[in-house]
Structure 1
């Protein structure tokens, strides 16, 4: 005869497996769908314009968006505010007291 306690345990184990495996399968399906939707001709055109030979070398760069990443000589230096003593940028007003250093 089937023990009712073992049926409950088996149901809980199946639910736990579904909760663990379900999101993984959904993520892998999304990843494969996005790979399928990728526009390879667009990537090849961008690679050609930039003079690259490999489409996979088009890694994202943040040089134009992150301050200081371009290597320009116009970097602001950190100084102490003359009014409150808090560290602040040389080209901007103090963040603590609002006065220009």
Structure 2
């Protein structure tokens, strides 16, 4: 996976298997100082239904922990794309719920 070495939020991120060879090669040839390589780890797919529509999505997020103490789940984002990018319309934010029981 190629991603910008500054920024984040999935902007201008490319997964090699989902990218045209010419685009991948062009970024490496012309914009290499602006990018870094990160291993792409395939994720488990989750079923998501939004009304009558059902699809499979990737979920990414965080668990808020510090000094062996959990503060519960943080925000989770999901998308049917390889890169979950809510900022550019390629994903949805899901609230996480916890119960005391």
For the superposition of Structure 1 and Structure 2, which TM-score range results when normalised by the shorter chain? Answer: under 0.3
TM-score, length basis structure 1: 0.22
| Larger gyration radius, structure 1 or structure 2 | 1
Taking structure 2 as the reference length, what is the TM-score of the superposition? 0.22
